[in-house]
Structure 1
Amino acid sequence: MEHPSEAEDAIRRAVLIELNNAPLCLLNTSTGLLCDRAAQLNSFKTSPEYKELLSSITKRSDLQMERIKEVVAMHFCCVLLSHRWEEAEVMLHHIQNKDVCELKGLGGIMKLQSFCKIARDAGYLWAWMDTCCIDKSNNAELGESLQSMFVWYRHSALTIVYLSDVPPSSQPGALASSVWNEWGWTFQEFVALKVVRFYQKDWSLYLNDRSLNHKESQAIMKELEDTAYLLFDIFDVHLPVIYGERKQSALGRLLQNIVSRSGDITSLDWVGQSSEFNSCLPADIISYATPPYSLPSLSEDDIRTAVSSLRNIVPVDSASKLYNMLENMNALLFANCRLRLPCIAFQVTEVKRKRGHTVHSTYGVKADGLRDLLITMDETLIQFLRARPTQQTFFLVRPWDHRLLGLPDFSEQLTFTGEG
């Protein structure tokens, strides 16, 4: 037989572990009262489940830790609300020491009461809503809450998403256009949670889907595929979640982190609207949709000819030094919304010599992505127009890595390279 104090200590440890993954304050859906950690613990100690668990343990010779964890977890199952704030919301000072079920005349009280009723009807004792369950006047509590929300949503038994702008009997697609779907912050909630149900303005289920978990609904999930915070999870990127963050910023931080970690700049290859976060990045993930394109096929003879032509562009030793330098130069740096590349290349579309120069040759150069340039040099360049291109492809390469500027025959900041 176990000593009662040992059993109580084991139960307390299990409770504290459970509470560490839960919000600091919770609404008791049975009493309608807001409860801090002490009140939550006291509620459990006075519950029939606690008394039955304590009694069964003291009658046995082992602590039955799995049984303790199971009972504790069931008691502290918590339902969280994910929603967009509206003009009027119930705040902490509105509900302290009051039964939320009895409150009237407050803006947003119907949303809070409806949420608590759904949680209670589903069999859950605890519920949490960010507007009224965080003491925003306490900077320490506010900071801890913001940093812990992902964990809270991850460990919630159920998350209810309230779509205040989606009317009853809406057709598929209403969720995708809801304001809830336009705010980056809500997606960290969506990624974190394991079980979710979407409710419309009148608190009816979205698309009348009565399944226990809308994350298993293909029709609903189809409307939520392109989300930055979802990609955080996929790419295993651990970045701080910023309250109120816009989707463009969340996507920008994700892409910035991927580029910096991998050195792969293919994420800079996109078509569409540029991001306000950084103009090098797209405003939306759909900008990576690949247009239909097939690479031209080359015969073996064509490949040999192309390779041979490269040997006549620059001396072999200079080309080798350039290759080694490029191979070993610093990786790109992408941080604080700024992109630094070791070098950047622009395809040349026109080279035309200017008259009136004898000692050096001056050329007017056009390149994609640059304004028109004038370049003066000793070498003679092949002239061509966009309408009449050469067989070779030329690039203007701007090296931003200072080590590239000291190479023989490649000392100019703007340098020509050729590609067969």
Structure 2
Amino acid sequence: MGRNPSVVSAAEAVAAIDSGASIYLGSSDSVPRLLVEALCARGRKRVLRDVTLRHIHTGRTEDYAAPEFEGVFRSESFFIGENMRRQIQRGAADYIPISLHDTPRLIRDGVVGCDVAMIQVSPPGRHGRVSLGISVDVAPAAIETAKLVIAVMNRNMPYTYGDGEIDLDRIDYLVEDDSPLEETHFALPNEIERAIGRNCAELVEDGSCLQLGIGAIPNAVLSQLSDRKDLGIHTEMFADGLLPLVEAGVVNGSRKRIDRGKIVASFLMGSRRVYDFVDRNPMVRMREAAYTNDPFRIARNPKVVAINSAIQIDLTGQVCADSLGMRMYSGVGGQLDFIYGASRSEGGRPIIAMPSRTTKGVSKIVPVLDPGAGVVTPRSRVHFVATEYGIVDLYGKPLQQRARLLISIAHPECREELERAAFERFGRHFLYWK
């Protein structure tokens, strides 16, 4: 590797990739689309075979998983985005079950290969380094181990401080592209999501340190916190909903024990407003997933409130968050990392938050999980569960009491059926349990 990367076209850069290569592809809203397009163009010439692309979610990029590339590219996701669900469910792509904090180790230890890293970076900062900007996650591990590093340099990529700062001599080929970054715009919370947000917000005290996932419920929680003081952020990701609390001084990180005064995250999904906020912002530290999602590091901050979602919860508290029965839907991700980390935190409160029913009216609290459903958080690790009908604490509760508590926050139209199932499971004594 030379001291300076070669500035080339995307086609010239991907021409260095051979058949059988394992490629790490930058994730979320930071996918280097110009490189993906060039790689697909090369794949259409049938000069490549058996190339594996590994990544977390890749937004709206899915060309490489199209039927025309069968035998050319194979996609293996560490976490399944919407663009890959159909391909994985039909077997044209695959999923690697792994907690997010363990994913960099998979790469560093060579459990999964990484011959090529394809990433997107900012222009150099004042010290001559570039930054991974809005998506650090597992990329540092890929860059460290790859034989070939290809980077798209984009002036629209913010420069963020932390683990995503890279020396230029770590890059082999540099491709210039100033296309706008992808943006993610979340829908405003509906009435049910606002009710869930209010229930979760009841557990957020002054000085809490928050982890918030993706979607409307986290934004609904944040909207309820304007009267809190000295909140901290240690999370996988954040989006636009956090910014009003930062601007109002509600989020300042002053009571954190590690990374005091800093907002710590691994990737971002939001609008240009978020990207402008993090650009050269000394308050923000973008760290790789091995740092942000380490349960023992999470636990070092007091009052960690971790809010994660579920597809189903059974009456004993088992949480499915990765599949619809046998059909993979998302992945393990960081849920158990933060549920466990928050449970070890002094005054920590791990929360599973979800609507009581699906949009089709099917209860998400069920007698038993669907056949093939994955248990992402085991019943032994579950603490608080919230729906629009309230919030209950299952920690340390016996099975029959758990069932009664969960039924109390199920949709009213589903409670009779759940009580009948609990009676069949536990016997007549369940009728007398209060």
Scaled by the length of structure 1, the TM-score of the pair is: 0.25
- Whichever structure has more strand as a proportion of its residues is 2
- Whichever structure has more helix as a proportion of its residues is 1
